[in-house]
Structures are given as structure tokens and as C-alpha cells.
Amino acid sequence: MLIDVYFGENKSHKLTYRIYDTDHGRLFYDRMKQQANNIISRKEFYGFGETEQDIVTELDKIKNFVATRLPDKDLGDDLNVLHSEFVELHDFAEQNDPELHQVLRNFNSRIHHLEFLQNKLNSSTIYFMCDGDAGVPLPESALNHFTITREPGKLYMAYPHVGKSFYSIYLDNDLDITPEQVECTTLMRNTLFMWFGQGVYNTVSKQNTQMRRMFNFYTKVQEKMPYDFNDKRLTVGNLLLGELIDMPDNIVEILAKHKYLHSWKCI
């Protein structure tokens, strides 16, 4: 199962991914064959030369727009608070204000973009989020394929819900999270990210160290979590889908010249 992904406004560059032969891999591939080429944003390229200040400036513009629409809503600078505000505002705008809803989608992307840069991973990633996909239930066997590792050339499903996953809560050190905001992954949606640059937690030693840190954090918020730490339904990390075929060493430099996600083709 192969998927060609085209970059550049004129389809000037192509990457080919091999999708793993798993229950969720086959489900993903079949759904992508039927998925219309509607993408929420074609320019979600993180770690391709932009700075934290660039993203802060974009966030400030969005917050100013929200303030003109909702004068009683004061959005501060704390990213954990912004995550919480996004959930509340998203639900309101989806029902009442289409323009604000679209702006809030960008708002959410910029929050994640800033978090990515602040983590200083020395890596690059591209987010690929199809529009209008309500998702389908995730196969139970997929719970065995969630991982905290990030390996160059690998393709992962991004978090598909509006809430917040345990892993995101941990990374944000969000001790103030409420049970209502926690949502473990239960859906397969065509929301993806491609990883390039350095690997993250890509050795057994690093994985074990990170898991111990997460467990220590879990004990501080466990009364708010729907599952035990070792329960696979907690879905820690992201779902691995496939890997890139023939990745050149200078892939980040190449993609920096084609920062536009054009389309894809299942072959």
C-alpha cells in the first residue's frame, strides 16, 4: 500500500510512503482513497526556518481578531489556558460563527506550532489535516501501535480530537487539566504528520526514561484520567501508520523549497 504525496503549488516534488499492513493501516489507506482533496491548511510546515517570535506574532493577530468578535473574552499568553479556551470557543464558533470557526482552526495550529518550536527538538514536521472527516472508530488492534517515538521518515496519525490527550497534558505539565478536557484517541481520522530531522525517544533506554517521567506525572493527575497508566486505552503518543521510501539526507532542505501540500494519490 503506497501513497504519493505531492508538494509545491505545481506538484514540483513527490514523496512516497509505504503504509504498514495492519488493521489500522488498511483502514487508513482505504479511507484516503475515498478522501476528497480538502485540507484545512496546506502550509503546516513546522521547523523549516521559522522562529518562535514569528508564531507569537501570528497568535497575537488571531487573539486581536477574537477580541473584536467576543469583547468579553480575554485570551492571555499561557498555552495551557489557550488550549482550554480553544475547546470552549471552537464549540461556540462551530455553531454560530463560521468565520470565527475558521480563524480558530488556525489558532489551534499556531498553538501547536509554538509548542513544537519551544520543545527545541531540532526536527521538522508537516501536518496534513483533511477537512470534513468525522472519523470512524479505531480498530482495537491499533491500540498496540501507539508510540512516543518520532523517527525520521515515519508517518503518524495526529491527535484527532478537540480535547487533550494524556501525552499532550504531560508535555504541557498541565496539572490544572479538568476531566472534561481529557479525551483519549478513539477515532481514525485523516489527520497526519510526517516527521523529519532528528529522532525522538528512538532508543529503548530513552523510551524507558520518558515512560518513567510520564508515570511520575500521571500519579499527580490520575484522579482526572479515565484509565490506568498501563491501560492501552490511554493511547499514549501517536499511532504509527507507515514510512517514507527513499528519503534523501537533505529532505528538510528540499521540502523548504516546496512548502505547500498539494495533493496525494493512493497507488
Distance of CA 265 to the CA centre of its chain: 21
The reported pTM is 0.88
Predicted confidence pLDDT, tens digits, the chain (267 residues): 999 999 999 999 999 999 999 999 999 999 999 999 999 999 999 999 899 999 989 888 888 887 787 777 666 665 555 656 666 676 677 777 788 778 878 887 888 888 888 887 788 999 999 988 989 999 999 999 999 999 999 999 999 988 889 998 998 888 999 999 899 999 999 999 999 988 889 889 999 999 999 999 999 999 999 999 999 999 999 999 999 998 988 999 999 999 999 999 999
For the chain, the domain total comes to: 1
Which structural domain, as residue segments, surrounds residue 180?
Answer: 2-266
